[in-house]
C-alpha cells in the first residue's frame, strides 16, 4: 500500500489526508505546532486505511517509507522535516496538485499579487449563472480543493484561488482557463528574490496547452513582455486593460467595459452599474468576465452577475459614516500595492491606518501615494518604525504612532474633519497582533461602530 506524508495539519492538510485515505493511501500527518489537537484531527478524518498524526520529529527510517509528500501552503520550507524529505528525494506536491490529480472536474485557476479573492468570488458567481450547483469556489479563498473533490459531482467546475505558495509544488496541474491579474512585490520574507516570487505565480500556466486560455493584465509590464517579447506561453492568451483600447480582449474606456474581437465591439456595462469601486476592481471584473466568456457563459448572464456582485468583506468595505466622516475597512490590503489601490479608489482626503508584520517589501511607492491624498498616517504593529522612516525619507511628517488598533481608530476619529475618509489598509500582514486579516478587519469594524 502506498504511503504519503502530509505537512501541515490545518484545513488543507486535513482535506489532503482525507482524499488520500479515500484513495487507499496510508497517511502520516505532520505538524510541529504543539497546540494541534490530535484527538480532534482523528475525529475529523475517517476511513479504514491506516492514519497517524505526529507533532514531533520523524525518524529517517519512517520518512524513507514514504512514496509522496503533500505540503500545505502555510508550511515553512525551512522546517527540518521538509528539508530531510527533500534530501531523501521524496516527491513533493501541493494540495491543489493533489486535488487536481484526483478530480474529474474542470479547473479554472486565478492568481496574482492583488485582487485574487474578489476575482475568484465574482467568477464563481458568473459561472453559476450557467452551471448552477456544479460550480465550486476553492483554494486560497479558504476552502481546500481536496475537500470538494472528496464529494465531487460529475462535470464540476472548480474556480481555484492559487497563491504563490500553492503553485510552488505543482507537477501536472493544468487549468482549462487561468488568469494572472498582476505582479507586485510580496512575501519577500519567504522568497529569496522578487523573480522567485514571480516564477512561482507563473507556474499556473506551465502545463497549459493550445486548447487552454490564459487571461492576462495588459497593464502589467511583466505579463505584457512575457507575451509580446518572449512568447512564453504555450496556450491562447487574452488581455484585459484598464488604460487603453485593445484590438482583441476586454478593456475600460470612458467609464465603461467593452469586449472587442476581429468582427465586433460590444459595450458590456458602465462602471457606475457596479457595486464595487476603484480601477483595480474594474480590472478584476474584466478578468472574471473573460473567464466567464471563454467558459461559455453568455454576455447577458456575465453582466447580470457583475451588477449583482456586492464585493467582499475587508476589501475597501464601507463600514459607516459618522459626523460627515466615512470609515472603510481594507484589512485585506496586506501589501503596499493593495493599499495604493485602496487610496486611489477613495475620493477625498484620507486618514490612513497602516502597519503590521513586515514582509520585506519597500514602502517607497506607498509613501509617494500617501503624500498625494493622506492627511495623517497612523501606524501600528511591528512595521510602524520602518514605514515611518521611509515616510521621513520622502519628507512626509504627518505621522502618529498607536499601540493598538483601537487607539488608532480613536486618534483617527479625533483628527478627522467633515468630508474625510478613515481607511484601514495596513500594507502588511496581520500576524503580529491578530489571528488573520479577517480578525483585524472585524475588530476595526467593531471599534468603528462603537464610536459615539
Q: Could you give the CA distance from residue 99 to residue 285 in angstroms, rounded to a whole number?
A: 27
Query: How large a percentage of the chain has pLDDT more than 90?
Result: 88
Residues 6+ apart with CB under 8 A from 377: 352, 354, 370, 387, 391, 396, 398, 399, 400
Domain 317-450, CATH: 3.90.190.20
Rounded to 5 degrees, what angle do the CA atoms 71, 78, 64 make?
60
Q: For 297-351, what is each residue's pLDDT tens digit?
A: 999 999 999 999 998 899 999 999 999 999 999 999 999 999 999 999 999 999 9
Average pLDDT over the chain reads 95
Q: For 213-262, what is each residue's pLDDT tens digit?
A: 999 999 999 999 999 999 999 999 999 999 999 999 999 999 999 999 99
pLDDT value of residue 68: 98
pLDDT at 385 over 90: yes
pLDDT at 174 over 80: yes
Residue 27 near residue 6 (C-beta atoms within 8 A): yes
pLDDT value of residue 187: 81
Q: Could you give the CA distance from residue 229 to residue 82 in angstroms, rounded to a whole number?
A: 38
Provide the grid cell at 95: 494540495
- Local confidence band at 33 (pLDDT 50, 70, 90 cut-offs): confident
pLDDT at 46 over 80: no
Provide the grid cell at 401: 504612532
pLDDT at 1 over 90: no
- Local confidence band at 38 (pLDDT 50, 70, 90 cut-offs): confident
pLDDT value of residue 35: 81
CATH 1.20.1420.30 is right for the domain spanning 96-308: no
Residue 268 near residue 289 (C-beta atoms within 8 A): yes
Backbone torsion region of residue 116, taken as left when φ is above 0, otherwise alpha when ψ lies between -120 and 50, otherwise beta: alpha
Residue 47 near residue 23 (C-beta atoms within 8 A): no
Residue 147 near residue 18 (C-beta atoms within 8 A): yes
Comparing 46 with 447, the larger pLDDT belongs to 447
- Local confidence band at 36 (pLDDT 50, 70, 90 cut-offs): confident
CATH 3.40.50.720 is right for the domain spanning 3-90: yes
Which H helix or E strand runs over 26?
A: strand 26-30
Give me the residue spans of the domains in the chain: 3-90, 96-308, 317-450
Q: Could you give the CA distance from residue 306 to residue 129 in angstroms, rounded to a whole number?
A: 11
Report the candidate in 329, 304, 348 with the shortest Cα–Cα distance to residue 438: 329
Report the candidate in 65, 62, 60, 54 with the shortest Cα–Cα distance to residue 8: 54
pTM of the model: 0.86
Q: How many helices (H) and strands (E) does the chain have?
A: 17, 20
Amino acid at each position: 500500500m502506498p504511503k504519503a506524508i502530509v505537512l501541515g495539519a490545518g484545513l488543507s492538510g486535513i482535506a489532503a489526508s482525507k482524499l488520500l485515505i479515500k484513495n487507499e493511501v496510508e497517511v502520516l500527518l505532520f505538524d510541529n505546532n504543539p497546540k494541534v489537537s490530535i484527538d480532534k484531527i482523528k475525529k475529523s478524518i475517517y476511513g479504514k486505511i491506516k492514519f497517524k498524526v505526529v507533532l514531533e520529529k520523524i525518524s529517517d527510517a519512517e520518512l524513507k517509507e514514504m512514496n509522496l509528500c503533500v505540503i500545505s501552503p502555510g508550511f515553512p520550507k525551512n522546517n527540518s522535516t521538509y528539508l530531510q524529505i527533500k534530501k531523501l528525494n521524496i516527491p513533493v506536491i501541493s494540495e491543489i496538485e493533489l486535488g487536481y490529480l484526483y478530480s474529474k472536474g474542470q479547473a479554472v485557476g486565478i492568481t496574482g499579487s492583488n485582487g485574487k479573492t474578489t476575482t475568484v468570488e465574482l467568477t464563481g458567481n458568473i459561472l453559476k449563472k450557467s452551471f448552477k450547483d456544479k460550480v465550486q469556489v476553492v483554494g486560497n479563498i479558504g476552502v481546500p480543493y481536496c475537500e470538494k473533490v472528496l464529494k465531487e459531482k460529475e462535470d464540476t467546475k472548480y474556480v481555484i484561488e492559487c497563491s504563490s505558495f500553492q503553485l510552488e509544488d505543482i507537477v501536472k496541474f493544468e487549468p482549462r482557463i487561468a488568469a494572472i491579474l498582476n505582479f507586485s512585490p510580496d512575501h519577500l520574507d519567504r522568497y529569496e528574490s522578487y523573480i522567485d516570487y514571480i516564477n512561482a505565480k507563473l507556474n499556473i500556466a506551465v502545463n497549459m496547452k493550445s486548447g487552454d486560455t490564459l487571461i492576462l493584465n495588459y497593464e502589467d509590464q511583466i505579463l505584457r513582455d512575457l507575451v509580446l517579447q518572449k512568447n512564453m506561453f504555450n496556450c491562447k492568451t487574452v488581455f484585459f486593460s484598464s488604460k487603453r483600447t485593445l484590438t482583441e480582449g476586454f478593456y475600460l474606456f470612458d467609464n465603461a467595459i467593452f469586449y472587442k474581437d476581429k468582427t465586433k465591439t460590444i459595450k458590456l456595462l458602465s462602471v457606475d452599474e457596479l457595486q464595487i469601486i476603484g480601477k483595480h476592481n474594474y480590472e478584476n471584473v474584466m478578468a472574471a468576465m473573460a473567464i466567464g466568456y471563454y467558459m461559455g457563459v453568455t454576455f447577458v448572464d456575465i453582466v447580470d452577475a457583475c451588477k449583482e456582485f456586492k464585493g467582499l468583506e475587508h476589501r475597501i468595505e464601507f463600514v459607516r459614516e459618522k459626523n460627515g466622516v466615512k470609515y472603510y475597512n481594507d484589512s485585506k490590503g496586506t501589501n503596499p500595492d493593495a493599499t495604493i489601490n485602496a487610496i486611489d479608489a477613495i475620493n477625498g482626503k484620507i486618514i490612513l491606518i497602516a502597519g503590521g508584520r513586515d514582509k520585506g517589501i519597500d514602502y517607497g511607492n506607498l509613501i509617494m501615494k500617501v503624500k498625494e491624498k493622506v492627511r495623517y498616517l497612523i501606524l501600528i504593529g511591528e512595521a510602524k518604525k520602518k514605514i515611518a522612516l521611509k515616510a521621513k525619507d520622502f519628507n512626509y511628517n504627518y505621522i502618529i504612532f498607536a499601540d493598538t488598533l483601537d487607539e488608532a481608530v480613536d486618534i483617527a476619529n479625533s483628527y478627522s474633519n467633515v468630508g474625510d475618509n478613515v481607511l484601514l489598509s495596513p500594507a502588511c500582514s496581520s500576524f503580529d497582533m491578530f489571528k488573520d486579516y479577517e480578525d483585524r478587519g472585524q475588530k476595526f469594524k467593531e471599534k468603528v461602530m462603537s464610536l459615539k
